[in-house]
A and B are shown apart, each in its own frame.
Chain A
């Protein structure tokens, strides 16, 4: 098994097909910008991007006023240039990051075109994208923790749903944000424990175990909601974590209001990103955790307790998913509605795959998916004819493409999903 991993790595760095495919993808994107946006815009159009989310006094920035078609042609040139460089020389290890840049340029081109002759609050859009990406990214982090240790977790959706309900209920009764948040985390960890026991101790199929939790959470939260939350309003009115601008950082123009004038869930996401990335890839703890996910038998031989490591990873994943679930009720809406996670846990799973089982990649994917969500809600305002549903589909389709290895094979932990049998 270890040899296959090494082989895979070797193939990945030198694979000429992949280099070629990626180059073609870049050129095609460039062509799409030209065909759909650049050639479709009027010469006298001016695009105005408002860069202030609104309601702020700090970190203000001027509007971006861009001549529409000139901007679009510049974008065509940029993406085409990257495509040609990729075809001739290749970006090597940076290819995935460059793909992200190209996709971002494509989205920017789309917005420039859609807002041609109009003005669009890009700052507000980005700010809401950050907020929308929180549950997706936290769900993905939870998945990274579990799967790096070799436990597949499709129960993130169920864990977040339960956490959001419990957070709303406890938060309403105690009128305390902290207790509500802690209750959310506790509920999620409890479900994570069930998942861990079922899949590590009883060794049942981890996808079935996840399905158990998802069905159970859907049933239980709707049951409690129908029986109590909907009937007694005082049980469904938790306080909401307020926005909290970080001193100094919030004063940076453009970035400040978008990233550093949010609530603690967004900051928790940033902190978790750094902590997880460092812990998983730069510490002995992380090395052990990953070794359990790659080759449990070898890890066991070296004296690592496979079962305990896996339990710990799944429970920590539960903590992260609990924070993500609490976001729905305590971080944004302030009340619980049935099935309110609406598949965000599954998109989190997708973001994890897209982000190649790393925190930083998951974060990037989560941001991208959050931005797609944010655009989908604004499409009708922009007056384009593209149905918002197609925008919402984009994350799912990109995930399938990534999974198919067309844009670089993801490196899934080798023993992901395999129960460990101690001999």
Chain B
């Protein structure tokens, strides 16, 4: 191709991309269309989850030994028991809620609604972490290092939380949150910088950064940041009262301000991505770096910025957990938020509002599963299986379409699942 031709080609491409990126922010797709695949993915995931519950239940096997009918009814009751206790665990017992509403006692109502409030509490770090992954996707980057950034954010927030004393709450708490964002941002900046300057792929680098973060945390919690008189347990000192994110009600209700901070941050990210030039540039770089380069956009700067902000969001997830819930830092801070958030960002089509919905769903799932484990002895790990299946179906809508005989939508109508390559965009 001659230089002239190539320029022309790039120019056409650029126009096309710009149209697409613009259309993405203005076109009003029907809600039904956008939600169909995720909804069916969730449904299919739950059905397969039921199959797993049935096939690992001892009652079912003893039932089938007696008779076929007994086996079927045992299967049904195994699934019904688990999913109903998951539902009750996540939203509260409907009978109890109605009763409490009738009695009109404020305390009773709060207690009856607590399972749902707890689901929101569990969803909060998911919102931050999901936003981190989603922002990366929009910029064409795969941030698989949310877990490590979350740890660094938590460490930084904890340090500011316990080492500074005597500040008023309205300064100390935001300061600790900012420290958390900064901690995560540094951990996101490094792979972003490496990608922009050396082309080192962010997936490998963020995986490496994850493990460096885990080891660093281990060392800090057993060494410089260890709690005095805690023996050899790797745990940090407890943060100051002034650094805590306030909870709205008395214990055991843990619903806290962090949830609303998460919503506000989600709106901020939405505004940044879809209402500012910066966001437009970022999305163009993500959609087609070559065209973006031709248009004079600075790809390196966009990459670094995107990874840094993504890291900051992940750091907020960690800071939120420490400041609102745990009040100190321990090794087992995160139970896989980083990897789950990849699933929920895709579930939410990498859109901040979609991320909120996805996070609420995952919060409900995890909180419900915790209760389900107590009442039905089904290990909480079932939700990881569900999340993996849902992620698979969302990422490969062709499977869902084949199962439910849905016709292929017109080109461009379907949410484009981020599909970059290992070698980056050469």
Contacts and interface: CB of A to CB of B under 8 A. Distances in A.
A227 B395 CA distance: 30
B194 interface: yes
Interface string B213-239: 001101100110000000000000000
Interface of B: 52, 56, 142, 144, 194, 198-201, 203-205, 207-212, 215-216, 218-219, 222-223, 336, 339-340, 342-343, 346, 377-379, 381-389, 391-392, 395-396, 398-399, 417-423, 426
A400 B417 contact: no
A349 B198 contact: no
Helix, strand, loop or mixed for chain B's interface?
helix
A415 B424 CA distance: 10
21 contacts: A154-B144, A204-B417, A205-B395, A205-B418, A211-B342, A216-B392, A219-B384, A220-B385, A222-B379, A346-B207, A349-B204, A350-B207, A350-B208, A387-B219, A387-B223, A389-B218, A389-B219, A403-B200, A403-B204, A403-B205, A418-B421
B384 A393 contact: no
A353 B200 CA distance: 11
Contacts of B339: 211, 214-215
Contact of A227 (B56, B199, B215): B56
A406 B198 CA distance: 9
Contacts of B346: 208
A343 B195 CA distance: 23
A202 B209 CA distance: 30
Given A389-B215, A393-B212, A216 B385 contact: yes
Contacts of A346: 207, 210-211
Nearest to A398: B208
A224 interface: yes
A43 interface: no
Contacts of B216: 389, 393
Interface in A223-275: 223-224, 226-228
Nearest to A214: B339
Nearest to A209: B395
Contacts of B378: 227
Interface string A178-214: 0000000000000000000010001111111101111
A214 B210 CA distance: 15
A404 B421 contact: no
A98 B96 CA distance: 72
Contact of B384 (A216, A228, A389): A216
B323 to A, nearest CB: 25
Contacts of A208: 342, 346, 391, 395, 417
A97 interface: no
Given A224-B56, A393-B215, A219 B385 contact: yes
A414 interface: yes
Given A215-B384, A227-B379, A346-B210, 7 more contacts: A4-B426, A208-B342, A215-B387, A218-B336, A220-B384, A396-B212, A417-B420
Contact of A414 (B209, B222, B423): B423
Which of A223, A346, A412, A415 neighbours the largest number of chain B CB atoms within 10 Å of its CB? A223
A202 B399 contact: yes
Helix, strand, loop or mixed for chain A's interface?
helix
A397 interface: yes
A147 B203 CA distance: 14
Interface of A: 4, 147, 152, 154, 198, 202-209, 211-216, 218-220, 222-224, 226-228, 343, 346-347, 349-350, 353, 387, 389-390, 392-393, 396-397, 399-400, 403-406, 412, 414-419
A313 to B, nearest CB: 15
Contacts of A212: 388, 391-392, 395
A417 B219 contact: no
B61 to A, nearest CB: 12
Which of B200, B385, B395 neighbours the largest number of chain A CB atoms within 10 Å of its CB? B200
Given A206-B422, A390-B215, A223 B204 contact: no
Contact of B382 (A4, A223, A389, A418): A223
B381 A226 contact: yes
Given A404-B198, A412-B422, A223 B388 contact: no
Contact of A222 (B210, B381, B396): B381
Contacts of A152: 422
Given A204-B419, A416-B423, A219 B382 contact: yes
A264 B315 CA distance: 44
Nearest to B191: A400
A393 B208 CA distance: 9
A211 B391 contact: yes
Contacts of A412: 422-423
A145 B205 CA distance: 21
A305 to B, nearest CB: 21
B423 A399 contact: no
Contacts of A219: 381-388
Given A205-B419, A392-B215, A349 B207 contact: yes
Contacts of B219: 387, 389-390
